[in-house]
């Protein structure tokens, strides 16, 4: 998606920086700061990713004074060379270079709004140092090495910032992490998140330490800060409504796919139906979803929670099983029975496009309502699930055998 540009320094020199611009051509600015491995494939991938989110993203080549356009692998030789280059780096000059990148970013015709700085490892420390001195709007530090050594300046931090720390990070052990937490405990502009059972560089795909679950959580928290401080702000609720309109009303597969990123995925968790990638998902929608829903299918909305990059939708799905429903009941011939089932959709966005959907429901309840599962003696609720969800006054605990004969506990 991106290209290299030349950044002019205050001293009159130039260095290279990788630049990725969103599809719409403009957006807030984001400076991404490298690990010790240079502006490698991972850093370019992340710039492209943030461009998808609507940011004009730039990755300055901070090692340019020692060697230009360094790209190191995550192997023994790469680590050795990266540590050598990091040892040669003058951090004060690096912050000056970052300032020059900010200036170059603001001068671009497509940069609109604020500017944030985000760094990984060595870049995580530089993001913090940048937030202390530069004219930026927010900062994010992923497992910054050495942050605890600069906490004497913590009171100088005046912009919103997020720190992502790893429990098993030998470069930032518990005493250092505790010092960071304590230093910013009274600063409501700062959030310090710690991720259990993960190591340094847990967000770097391609490394043994990569942990996708913690990475996804940290990414959402990062976007929350960026959206709140520099934007862009998308109406995710309206985007989701548009998507489901094409799924269930117009039943238009190309229009449905147009609301999604180029490589989306959908997972109906109980039945493992859906698709990964544009080709498989379009085929799934066309052959097994949009034209395979009952004529009377409707959804009763219960709640909708909208976050920085995702929606959690809670609803009651109602339908008559008048046809084979491939995505929910694959291979099951129509029974003609009526079903009401609570359903939860967790929908993630990248920018203004849907990225993935995780859809959950209780399959045992569906099968029981269709007469395909005998719930006798099993902790399975049928239509009572949806009725209780819509009316909290209905009785609870009826599946607990001794509930009715139990002794009530006095309330204080």
pLDDT value of position 388: 95
Q: How far is CA 75 from its chain centroid?
A: 28
Closest CA to 369 of 325, 403, 401: 325
pLDDT value of position 407: 82
* Catalytic annotation, pick one of 97, 121, 199, 246: 121
* Catalytic annotation, pick one of 97, 169, 199, 326: 169
pLDDT value of position 409: 81
Q: Per-residue pLDDT averaged across 123-148, rounded? A: 97
pLDDT value of position 217: 96
Q: Per-residue pLDDT averaged across 226-230, rounded? A: 97
Residue 96 among the catalytic residues: no
pLDDT value of position 38: 97
pLDDT value of position 412: 76
Q: What is the enclosing helix (H) or strand (E) of 355?
A: strand 353-361
Band of pLDDT at residue 245, cut at 50, 70 and 90:
very high
Residue 169 among the catalytic residues: yes
CB under 8 Å to 223, separation ≥6 — which residues? Answer: 53, 308, 309
pLDDT value of position 411: 77
Q: Quick check: bond before 402 cis, omega within 30?
A: no
pLDDT value of position 406: 81
Residue 288 among the catalytic residues: no
* Catalytic annotation, pick one of 164, 200, 243, 246: 200
pLDDT value of position 408: 79
Closest CA to 128 of 118, 80, 1, 27: 118
Band of pLDDT at residue 404, cut at 50, 70 and 90:
confident
Full set of structural domains in the chain with CATH:
1-228 (3.40.50.1820), 234-395 (3.10.450.50)
Q: What is the rounded (10 degree) CA torsion for 291, 295, 297, 298? A: 110
Q: Per-residue pLDDT averaged across 191-218, rounded? A: 96
The mean pLDDT value of the chain amounts to 96
Q: Per-residue pLDDT averaged across 5-24, rounded? A: 95
Q: Per-residue pLDDT averaged across 360-367, rounded? A: 98
């Amino acid at each position: 998606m991106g290209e290299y540009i030349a950044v002019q320094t205050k001293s009159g020199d130039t260095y290279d920086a990788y630049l990725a611009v969103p599809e719409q051509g403009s957006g807030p600015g984001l400076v991404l700061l490298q690990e010790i491995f240079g502006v490698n494939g991972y850093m370019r991938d992340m710039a492209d990713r943030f461009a998808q989110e609507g940011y004009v993203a730039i990755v300055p080549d901070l090692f340019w004074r020692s060697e230009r356009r360094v790209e190191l692998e995550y192997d023994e030789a790469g680590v050795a060379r990266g540590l050598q280059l990091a040892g040669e780096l003058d951090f004060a000059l690096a912050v000056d270079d970052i300032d020059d990148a900010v200036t170059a970013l603001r001068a671009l015709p497509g940069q609109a709004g604020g500017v944030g700085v985000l760094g990984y490892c060595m870049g995580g420390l530089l993001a913090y140092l940048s937030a202390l001195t530069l004219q930026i709007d927010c900062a994010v530090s992923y497992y910054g090495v050495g942050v605890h050594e600069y906490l004497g300046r913590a009171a100088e931090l005046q912009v919103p910032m997020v720190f992502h720390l790893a429990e098993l990070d030998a470069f930032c052990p518990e005493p250092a992490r505790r010092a960071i937490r304590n230093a910013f405990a009274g600063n409501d502009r700062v959030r310090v998140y710690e991720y259990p059972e993960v190591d340094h560089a847990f967000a770097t795909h391609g490394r043994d330490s990569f942990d996708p679950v913690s990475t996804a959580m940290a990414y959402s928290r990062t976007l929350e800060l960026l959206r709140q401080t520099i934007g862009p702000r998308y109406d995710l609720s309206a985007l989701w409504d548009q998507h489901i309109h094409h799924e269930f009303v117009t039943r238009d597969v190309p229009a449905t796919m147009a609301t999604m990123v180029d490589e989306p995925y959908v997972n109906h968790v109980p039945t493992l139906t859906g698709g990964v990638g544009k080709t498989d998902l379009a085929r799934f929608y066309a052959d097994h979803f949009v034209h395979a829903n009952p004529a009377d299918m409707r959804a009763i909305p219960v709640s909708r929670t909208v976050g920085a990059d995702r929606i959690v939708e809670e609803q009651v799905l109602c339908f008559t099983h008048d046809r084979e429903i491939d995505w929910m009941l694959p291979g099951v011939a129509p029974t003609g029975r009526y079903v009401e089932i609570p359903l939860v959709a967790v929908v993630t966005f990248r920018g203004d496009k849907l990225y993935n959907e995780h859809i959950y429901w209780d399959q045992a309840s569906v099968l029981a309502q269709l007469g395909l599962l005998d719930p006798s003696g099993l902790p399975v609720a049928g239509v009572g699930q949806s009725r209780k969800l819509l009316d909290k006054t209905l009785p609870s605990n009826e599946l607990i055998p001794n509930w009715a004969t139990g002794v009530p506990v006095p309330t204080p």
